[in-house]
Structure 1
């Protein structure tokens, strides 16, 4: 990298672009430029690590842009403190400069980073969700699939019409709940949606801060699913609730789930860890989660995976490490912790 360009932010600015950065590993979350600069300079750890990496979406456009922005999906390794491995970032930026110079927009840039080792393709749900978010943020129309989804949730299509819903249409609907009567229609239809609709829709809603009324519905449906022992329904409701602004309701739901036998299920534990991580800054709640994971025998290495995931999150790291010194651990949890260091 040149002496003048030492960060991705500087590279993007030197190329004359406007840009935004998002975490796309956990919940799609915008990173403000000051925060991103601190991450790049390794002054602060990456806030949302996933499997030892920062998964980023960099959206950029030139100042005279008439087309949709360009997007880089990038995957950079993090160190044991969840700080960016700057050498990898430097390597990527050097490759960009060598391939494109500072002409990173326009037709000449197309395809030139296809084999870059730091470029990755998010899964279909993440791609659809990010595309829906991007279209909304730059005031572009939703995809061609949105209108059909809107008609479906309004109850204006035949009962079996769900079979023709597209994932992108569900994403567009989820990110446009404040359009028309979309929120009202979702509230009215959510509890009776067929699972082939509810599951992909919940994967979109986990990136959307729903209103309080919808959050209350999701909480009630979580409790009903616990009573009826409906594992798949519970997980859908929990995913949809996880990004809610009504964090009190989410915490109540998490506590109810942890007190139920369904919390012994690996899929529930993984959903709690992966989507509701903010709930575990409370020590007693974290303790219960880790104890449940230690007792789980369904999935080999589940405790190790959950511990590694949570301890890497900077906001949770001190809480997770304090469990190592806790004296009132069950024998099973103590053994599980011991295996981490064997």
Structure 2
């Protein structure tokens, strides 16, 4: 059912539908993925987001049968950043979806996500230099999830549970899934690499109340009741517009740059966005978080405007 939660000044002031129901959240999963990378950054596991990704990521040992053509049915370790093009990719490129990574992952070539109408270009087009073109692409999102798993040397759901979800009091019902074929061998253990965006299955499943808690965490710059779970530096980077898409920060922080998304909202707001639509609106100036699920995207804009009008909020640029 259509579901929503509105939190103002830390209090739930409205709810509808079934906010306890655990449901697919689609590309809101990307915000949890970028947060997992941020947790690694905060601990010095990634020194700089502008570092090349290649030196951080060891060869990936796939399960037998999960290899790509030419990979000896999964028995050959997969190298994610070996081509001349892929060697140039940084963490920032991956986080902002400007890498133009070339390759196949979990049976999905990168061109298979939102392919061009001209089939002749799918595997042959010239590559954009990393950082010079924005393209929303879930194969590359899954690449970031796999690379982050390699850096952490543990499943990302375990990381998120320990450092974010348990500390913010999330329910025990949320789940973060990968694919049937996204299993790797990591330090002798069988580990599933999660889907970073929920495309083709997998992804984050959680309740609207848990979504609201995550929205509050990002609104408070990673601080939860005096405990800094994610660095303020990371949230500031995540909410800074990219050069190739001024309405997009780190995945999946959709920004209100120039107040183009919400005309009566402050410019410094963001929405964790997913299909469905699943949306978490975050407004630090008004101390406001709005979660809506299974609502048309255009209708969500009306919800934000209506709530702000009802609060008597005046949009001002920070």
TM-score normalised to structure 1 length: 0.25
Task: Tell me: higher relative CO, structure 1 or 2? Use CA pairs within 8 A at least 6 residues apart.
Answer: 2
Higher helix fraction: Structure 1 or Structure 2?
Answer: 1
